[in-house]
């Protein structure tokens, strides 16, 4: 039983490109962003449209490999490939780009990307255990604010920042509510549809439209759940996907899990709950940049060391979503996630006694059969 609203979600990507074209014709500015640490609120407060430029498809990887090393994470190669082949309308429409020093591959790729678009690099602290980490990030936000004002010829006011904070918080809240629908057993939405609905957030020219559409989807899912309908049979093994970000185009593991008889009910990665769980403090007394910095630094990404937040979040999600197994998906050559996997799997096994598996792959279809064999054995194991 697929909600009708998912058809509208499917059409949104094409419509968003048309809307972006119109917005550009009306002289709106577009700010490209690659990472969950990029503060969308500042772009919105500058009157610009923030868009996600994270590459999710294998297509442009070959072009990227002519310049970048082959043994690099596919997300970086895909992102770079889209840029140099001019095949991503969102990159083409971006006036400027906000980048961050997250993993080594990405930050060095950004140095090459400077040839194609004006880029501002934010220096992200490498951990949050130092007392000055938040102050550091506030300073980076101040520098970014000045750069945006200069590049876009606008003033970012406190009032505009407050408005942007509220808008982004409402988007986070509605997406979190959507994601939490799959706490129900059996889950009312497939993992693939959940991914598609969440992914859309990076491309909405008007965030308000995206918020309304997700609300409509939640209402429809609630009706489906009330009728005790689900795309899954009762007893379908429930899987939590953690690790590197996945999106439409790089969804092969999600697809395989569901083809092999499982249900992906929870996305812990930054394409899922990781970026929705915390809200920016809306307290009028608080400096907006301070509030933004505090919220974004809570994102438990493996580029941070130590990264205790990921373990806390994972533990919470395993209980909340009553999962039977955890898949840690790591893109090839993503050193931070691959190395963190050791502790993640020990934590899941020792603390919760449930099965877990690491899958390391890229964006190509070359290992589909091999992945299918491993996933199918995993689903069989957690079914009993």
Q: Is 348 in the site for ligand SF4 (CB under 6 A)?
A: no
User: DSSP state, 275?
Assistant: G
> Which helix (H) or strand (E) is 98 found in, with range?
strand 96-100
Please give the C-alpha separations between residue 19 and each of 90, 167, 345, in angstroms, as whole numbers. 11, 19, 43
Among 6, 46, 73, 200, binds ligand SF4 (CB under 6 A): 73
> Would you tell me the crossing angle of helices 207-226 and 158-180 to the nearest 10 degrees?
20
Among 12, 23, 33, 36, binds ligand SF4 (CB under 6 A): 36
Q: Is 103 in the site for ligand SF4 (CB under 6 A)?
A: yes
Task: Note whether 357 and 378 are within 8 A (CB).
Answer: yes
Q: How far is the CB of 105 from ligand SF4 (least distance, A)?
A: 5
Q: Rule CB under 6 A: which of 268-287 touch ligand SF4? A: 270
Q: Is 12 in the site for ligand SF4 (CB under 6 A)?
A: no
User: Strand, helix or coil at 204?
Assistant: coil
The site string for ligand SF4 over 232-271 (x = CB under 6 A, - otherwise) reads: ------------xx------------------------x-
Among 20, 29, 31, 37, binds ligand SF4 (CB under 6 A): 37
Task: Note whether 328 and 358 are within 8 A (CB).
Answer: yes
Q: What distance in Å separates the CA atoms of residue 147 and residue 329, rounded to the nearest whole number?
A: 36
Q: Is 32 in the site for ligand SF4 (CB under 6 A)?
A: no
Taking contact as CB under 6 A, which single stretch among the options 30-38, 42-50, 246-254, 355-363 is the one that binds ligand SF4? 30-38
Closer Cβ to ligand SF4, 303 or 382, answer by number: 303
Taking contact as CB under 6 A, which single stretch among the options 40-48, 103-111, 341-349, 357-365 is the one that binds ligand SF4? 103-111
Whole-angstrom Cα Rg for the chain: 20
Task: Note whether 77 and 191 are within 8 A (CB).
Answer: no
Closer Cβ to ligand SF4, 49 or 299, answer by number: 299
Task: Note whether 264 and 258 are within 8 A (CB).
Answer: yes
Q: Is 61 in the site for ligand SF4 (CB under 6 A)?
A: no
Q: How far is the CB of 245 from ligand SF4 (least distance, A)?
A: 5
Q: How far is the CB of 38 from ligand SF4 (least distance, A)?
A: 8
Give just the sign of the alpha carbon dihedral 135, 136, 138, 142.
Answer: positive
Cα angle at 74 between 197 and 292, to 5 degrees? 55
What does the binding site for ligand SF4 look like in residue numbers (CB under 6 A)?
Answer: 35-37, 73, 75-76, 102-103, 105-106, 244-245, 270, 299, 301, 303, 331, 334, 336-337
């Amino acid at each position: 039983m697929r909600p009708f609203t998912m058809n509208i979600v499917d059409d949104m990507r094409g419509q968003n490109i048309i809307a972006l074209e119109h917005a550009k014709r009306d002289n709106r500015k577009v700010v490209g962003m690659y990472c969950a640490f990029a503060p969308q609120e500042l772009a919105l407060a500058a009157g610009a449209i923030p868009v996600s430029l994270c590459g999710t498809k294998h297509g442009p990887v070959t072009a990227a490999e002519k310049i970048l090393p082959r043994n690099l994470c596919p997300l970086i190669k895909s992102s770079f490939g889209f840029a140099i082949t001019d095949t991503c309308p969102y990159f083409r429409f971006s006036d400027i780009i906000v980048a961050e020093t997250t993993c080594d591959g990405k930050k060095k790729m950004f140095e090459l990307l400077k040839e194609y678009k004006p880029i501002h690099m934010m220096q992200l602290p490498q951990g949050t255990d130092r007392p000055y980490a938040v102050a550091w990030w506030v300073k980076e936000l101040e520098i970014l604010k000045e750069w945006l004002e200069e590049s876009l010829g606008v003033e970012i006011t406190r009032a505009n920042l407050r408005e942007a904070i509220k808008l982004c918080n409402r988007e986070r809240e509605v997406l979190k509510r959507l994601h939490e629908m799959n706490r129900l057993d059996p889950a009312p939405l497939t993992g693939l549809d959940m991914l598609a609905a969440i992914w859309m957030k990076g491309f909405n020219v008007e965030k308000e439209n995206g918020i309304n559409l997700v609300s409509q989807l939640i209402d429809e899912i609630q009706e489906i759940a009330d009728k005790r309908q689900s795309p899954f049979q009762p007893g379908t093994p429930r899987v939590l996907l953690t690790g590197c970000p996945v999106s439409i185009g790089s969804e092969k593991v999600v697809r395989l899990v569901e083809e092999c008889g499982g249900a992906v009910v929870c996305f812990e990665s930054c394409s899922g709950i990781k970026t929705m769980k915390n809200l920016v403090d809306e307290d009028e007394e608080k400096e907006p940049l301070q509030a933004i910095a505090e919220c974004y630094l809570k994102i438990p990404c493996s580029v941070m060391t130590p990264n205790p937040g990921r373990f806390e979040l994972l533990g919470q999600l395993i209980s909340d979503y009553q999962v039977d197994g955890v898949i840690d998906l790591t893109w090839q050559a993503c050193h931070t996630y691959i190395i963190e996997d050791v502790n993640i799997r020990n934590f899941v096994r020792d603390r919760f006694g449930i099965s877990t598996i690491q899958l390391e792959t890229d964006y190509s279809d070359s290992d589909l059969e091999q992945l299918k064999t491993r996933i199918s054995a995993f689903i069989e194991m957690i079914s009993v």
